[in-house]
């Protein structure tokens, strides 16, 4: 199956783009997530077909959909760390999960909600030097940052809005407002494509990095001087 070309406006750092491309190519070659050979159809088994997961937000139209590899239905049931590899705007977040050794935290028995900032959000928050430091040497700070984006329990967008506030695994209380397919978190981050359903988790893509680390980046994610 040929993987379609997806054009996105992203300032992802080149090293992370190459890493994500290698991961995606490996998955395509092994057939992960896009092959259903040997799986009986609902009609053959007599089971009612499952409704396709519905994602919502202004960025969703630019992400894999329909029969594209990485579409919401293809990701349903995948481990969270695998699903993250298929979402082309989350290469920095996915790299941070691997660098921090926190993949197991995304597979908690009671489930987890993942508030995943886009690559552009990371580039705006951190200079390339600071992001390199987080990914390569300052793992404790990186783990703390990721916990600011994880909430216990697999919660849909409507669950978050109904709750009005949630507490992250870092212990930070985050207010949630909104509705109609989007939500605002901590009065600074918005969901831009919400409600990916994966194994034991929900992934909500957001446009701002949460937590209290200092902002050192900018529109281009330049090196610090």
Query: How many other β-carbons are positioned within 10 Å of the β-carbon of residue 193?
Result: 27
pLDDT of residue 220: 52
Q: Where are the alpha helices (DSSP H) in 63-221?
A: 72-75, 80-85, 91-100, 119-125, 128-136, 139-147, 157-163
For residue 180, the model assigns a pLDDT of 82
Residue 24's pLDDT is what? Answer: 43
Taking only the tens place, the pLDDT of each residue in 64-77 is: 999 999 999 999 98
Are 193 and 61 spatial neighbours (Cβ–Cβ below 8 Å)?
no
- 67 burial (CB, 10 Å; 0-12 / 13-18 / 19+) is exposed
Report the pLDDT value the prediction gives residue 222, as an integer from 0 to 100.
54
Per-residue model confidence (pLDDT) at position 53 = 87
- Residue ranges in the chain whose pLDDT is less than 50: 1-45, 47-49, 221, 224-225
Give Cβ neighbours of residue 162 (< 8 Å, ≥ 6 apart): none
Domain ranges of the chain: 14-35+55-206
Pseudo-torsion of CA 11, 206, 61, 202, nearest 10°? 130
Quick: pLDDT tens for 86-125: 999 999 999 999 999 999 888 867 899 999 999 999 999 9
* Beta partners for residue 196, in sequence order: 203
Angle between helices 139-147 and 91-100 (to 10 degrees): 120
Query: In the block, which residue shows the tokens 């928050």?
Result: 125
Q: Does domain 14-35+55-206 have CATH number 2.30.180.10?
A: yes
Say whether pTM exceeds 0.85. Answer: no
Instruction: Show the tokens assigned to 39.
Output: 């799986």
DSSP 4: P
């Amino acid at each position: 199956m040929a993987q379609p070309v997806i054009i996105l406006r992203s300032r992802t750092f080149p090293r992370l783009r190459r890493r994500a491309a290698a991961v995606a190519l490996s998955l395509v070659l092994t057939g992960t997530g896009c092959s259903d050979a040997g799986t009986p159809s609902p009609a053959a088994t007599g089971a009612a077909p499952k409704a396709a997961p519905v994602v919502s937000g202004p960025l969703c139209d630019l992400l894999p959909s329909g029969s594209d590899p990485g579409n919401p239905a293809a990701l349903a049931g995948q481990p969270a760390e695998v699903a993250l590899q298929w979402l082309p705007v989350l290469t920095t977040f996915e790299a941070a999960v691997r660098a921090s050794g926190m993949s197991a935290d995304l597979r908690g028995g009671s489930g987890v909600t993942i508030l995943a900032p886009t690559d552009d959000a990371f580039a705006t928050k951190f200079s390339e030097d600071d992001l390199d430091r987080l990914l390569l040497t300052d793992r404790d700070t990186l783990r703390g940052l990721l916990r600011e984006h994880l909430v216990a329990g697999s919660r849909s967008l409507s669950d978050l809005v109904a709750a009005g506030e949630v507490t992250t695994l870092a212990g930070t209380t985050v207010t949630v407002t909104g509705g109609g397919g989007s939500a605002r978190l901590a009065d600074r981050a918005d969901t831009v494509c919400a409600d990916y359903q994966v194994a034991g988790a929900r992934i909500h893509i957001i446009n701002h990095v949460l937590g209290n680390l200092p902002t050192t980046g900018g529109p281009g994610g330049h090196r610090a001087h």
